[in-house]
Amino acid sequence: MPDNAQTIEGRLNAHREILISLLTEALLVPGGPQHLLRNLEQEVLLRDGSEDPGATPSAGVGRGNEKSQEIREILDTAKERAEALRRITMENADGTAS
């Protein structure tokens, strides 16, 4: 089966959903893998040449920023989903859900 843009996009979306689901589960576990989350948070720190204000970002830095942005979006989505699941669980436990 040839890999066209639509196929590749579908596969990337599937991988992204799997990663979000795995991170969401990790976030729901009390005392979960905090080292993993810290490492991912470190990965998304902007590397914009701020150490050398005269430096211009190279193509490699651009790709690194794109990677960091994607990691940030995956982490944020997983955190939001985990928080929503916690709220649903709490509402169900309290009997306040309809």
pLDDT of residue 81: 95
Helices 34-43, 5-28: inter-axial angle, 10-degree rounding: 140
Residue 8 has pLDDT above 70, yes or no: yes
Residue type, 39: N
User: Per-residue pLDDT tens for 18-50?
Assistant: 999 999 998 888 877 888 888 888 888 755 444
The rounded Cα 42 to chain-centroid distance in angstroms is 12
pLDDT digits (tens, 9 = 90+) for 59-90: 555 567 788 888 899 999 999 999 999 999 99
Q: Are 56 and 78 in contact (CB under 8 A)?
A: no
Length of the chain: 98
The reply to whether the predicted model has a pTM over 0.75 is no
Q: Who contacts 48 (Cβ-Cβ below 8 Å, separation ≥6)?
A: 57, 61, 65
